[in-house]
Amino acid sequence: MRLKFLTVLSGLLVLSLTLSGCGPVYSTQYRYTPPLDANGKLCVSQCSNTREMCRMMEETRAAQEQAQCQQNSAMRYSMCLSNAKTDQARKDCDRNNYSYCSRSANTERCEESYRQCFQNCGGKIDSFQVCDFGC
């Protein structure tokens, strides 16, 4: 009886943990109010230029990492094939998916710096949550 109770209880625990992972997904959105004076506007313009430079550097970094990953994958696949002694071993090289590479730019740091700069220039930023999934 006690074992059955513990089994049911653990099943309910697993079910509740699984379902809790299916809750709504939110993201933060921002509403920007620029400063009114000319100096503040010039300052925000410089913030924008800095953000664009940061984004370009992140895009370049991601592209370089992607190229390096693809080059490494091609080398590993070639080595796998050259070491394969049987047809099955060669098929295993194909299944290992050496070609998968996914690198993308992470520009969140650029956006955080921009928001800080924008506020330092006298701008105002309001943040709010938006439900993206499971609303």
- Write the pLDDT tens digit of every residue in 41-81: 999 999 999 999 999 999 999 999 999 999 998 899 999 99
d(CA 114, CA 44): 9
Q: Determine what percent of the chain is predicted with pLDDT higher than 90.
A: 62
Whose CA is closest to 99, among 120, 62, 71? 71
What is the secondary structure of 56-74 as a DSSP string? Answer: HHHHHHHHHHHHHHHHHHH
Per-domain residue ranges for the chain? 26-122
Per residue in 13-35, pLDDT (tens digit) is: 454 444 456 789 999 999 999 99
pLDDT at 3 over 70: no
Q: CB of 29 within 8 A of CB of 76?
A: no
Q: Tell me the whole-structure pTM to 2 decimals.
A: 0.68
